A = this chain, B = another copy of it.
Amino acid sequence: MSSDLIDTPTKILQATLKLLEAPDAKLPTMSDIARATGISRQAVYLHFPSRTDLLVAATRYQDRLNDIDTGLAPSRGARSGAERLDAFVTAWGNYIPKIYGVARAIMAVTDTDSEAAAAWNTRMQDMREGCAAAIAALAEDGTLPPGTDMEQATDLLWTLLSVRNWENLTQTCGWSQDCYVGTIRGMAMATLARDLGALTDVLACTDPPA
Contacts and interface: CB of A to CB of B under 8 A. Distances in A.
Contact of A203 (B108, B149, B172, B200): B149
A152 B191 contact: no
Nearest to A104: B111
Interface string A165-191: 100110011010001000100110011
Contacts of A162: 164-165, 168
A199 B172 CA distance: 28
A151 B209 contact: yes
A66 interface: no
Given A164-B164, A199-B191, A204 B159 contact: no
Q: Is the interface of A mostly helix, strand, loop or mixed?
A: helix
Interface string A103-135: 010011001100000000100000000000000
A152 B165 contact: no
Contacts of A39: none
A155 interface: yes
Contact of A146 (B169, B190, B200): B200
Contact of A169 (B151, B159, B190): B159
A145 interface: yes
Interface in A25-65: 27
A11 interface: no
Interface of A: 27, 104, 107-108, 111-112, 121, 144-149, 151-153, 155-156, 158-159, 162, 164-165, 168-169, 172-173, 175, 179, 183, 186-187, 190-191, 194, 196, 199-205, 209
Given A151-B209, A155-B175, A164-B164, 15 more contacts: A27-B111, A144-B203, A145-B200, A145-B202, A148-B203, A152-B183, A152-B203, A156-B183, A159-B165, A159-B168, A159-B169, A165-B165, A187-B191, A190-B190, A191-B202
